[in-house]
Chain A
Amino acid sequence: MRTPWRLVPRHLRAHWVRTGLTAAAMMVAVFLLCFLMSIVTVLEKAVSESSANRVVPQSAVSLFVELPLDYHGKIAAVPGVENVAKFQWFGGYYRTPEDFFAQFAVSHEVFFDMYERDMRLVEGPNGPVGASGLSADEVSAQVIQAMSDNRRAAIVGQGLIRDFEWKVGDLIPMQSVFVPKADGSAWEFEVVGVYEPLKANFDDRTMFFRWDYYEETCNNAGDMPATGVGTYSVTIEEGYESGEVAARIDALFANGPQRTWTPTEAVFQATFVAMLGNVPLFVSTIGGAVAFAIFFSVVNTMLMAARQRSSEAGILKALGFRNGVMGRLMLAESILLSLVGGGLGVSLAIATQEPFRQMLGAMLPQYAVLNETAMIALGVSLLIGVIAGIGPAVTLSRLKVTDALRSEG
Chain B
Amino acid sequence: MALPINYSVRNISVRWASSLFTALGIAMTVAVFAGVISLQEGFEQLYRERGRPDVAIYLRPGANSEGESAFSRERANILLKERPEIAVDAQGHPLAAAETFLAAYMEQVIGGNTNVPLRGIQPASIALQGDALQLVEGRWLEFGTDEVVVGQPVSERMVDCALGDTLVLNMTPFKVVGVFTHAGAEGGEVWGDAERMLEALDRSYFQRVIARLKPGTDIETVAAELEDDARVPAKVLSEVEYLAAQTTYLSGVLEGLAMILTVIMGVAAVLGSMNTMLASVGARTHEIGVLLAVGYSRFSIFMAFLIESAFIGALGGALGVLIVLPFDGLQTGLMNWNTFTDVSFAFTITPKLIMTSFVIAFVLGIVGGTLPAARAAALKPVEAFRAA
Contact = CB atoms under 8 A, between A and B. Distances in A.
A25 B268 contact: yes
B103 A63 contact: yes
Given A28-B271, A180-B62, A258-B170, A65 B203 contact: yes
A240 interface: no
Given A62-B104, A300-B276, A224 B205 contact: yes
A294 B22 contact: no
A300 B102 CA distance: 54
Contacts of B22: 296, 300
A141 interface: no
A63 B340 contact: yes
A293 B268 contact: yes
A293 B25 CA distance: 5
Interface stretch (A73-81, A210-218, A276-284, A373-381): A276-284
B8 interface: no
B28 interface: yes
Nearest to B17: A303
A187 B167 CA distance: 40
B105 A278 contact: no
Nearest to A65: B201
Interface stretch (B82-90, B329-337, B376-384): B329-337
A348 to B, nearest CB: 11
A275 B114 contact: yes
Contacts of A61: 102, 104-105, 169-170, 201
A198 interface: no
A303 B278 contact: no
B271 A24 contact: yes
A229 B261 CA distance: 41
B103 A278 contact: no
Contacts of A282: 36, 39
Interface residues of A, number: 57
B206 to A, nearest CB: 12
A276 B115 CA distance: 11
Interface stretch (B66-74, B125-133, B174-182, B212-220): B66-74
B271 A297 contact: yes
Contact of B265 (A29, A227, A409): A29
A293 B102 contact: no
Contacts of B332: 278
B340 A64 contact: yes
A301 B171 CA distance: 66
A339 interface: no
A237 B114 CA distance: 31
A18 B275 contact: yes
Most buried by A among B17, B25, B35: B25
Interface string B253-279: 100000001001101110110111011
Contact of B105 (A63, A91, A256, A293): A63
A32 interface: yes
Contacts of A28: 264-265, 267-268, 271
A257 B202 CA distance: 7
B63 interface: yes
CB-based closest 6 A-B pairs: A293-B28, A25-B271, A300-B21, A297-B272, A25-B268, A62-B104
Interface of A: 17-18, 21-22, 24-26, 28-29, 31-32, 60-65, 91, 175, 177-178, 180, 184, 223-224, 227, 255-259, 261, 271, 274-279, 282, 285-286, 289-290, 292-294, 296-297, 299-301, 303-304, 363, 408-409
Interface of B: 17-18, 21-22, 24-25, 28-29, 31-32, 35-36, 39, 60-64, 67-68, 70, 72, 102-105, 112-115, 118, 169-171, 201-205, 253, 261, 264-265, 267-269, 271-272, 274-276, 278-279, 283, 332-335, 340, 342, 388
29 contacts: A25-B275, A28-B265, A28-B267, A32-B268, A60-B105, A60-B170, A62-B118, A65-B104, A177-B68, A180-B60, A184-B61, A258-B202, A259-B170, A271-B113, A275-B114, A275-B335, A277-B342, A285-B35, A286-B32, A286-B36, A294-B268, A296-B22, A296-B28, A297-B25, A297-B275, A300-B18, A301-B275, A303-B17, A409-B283
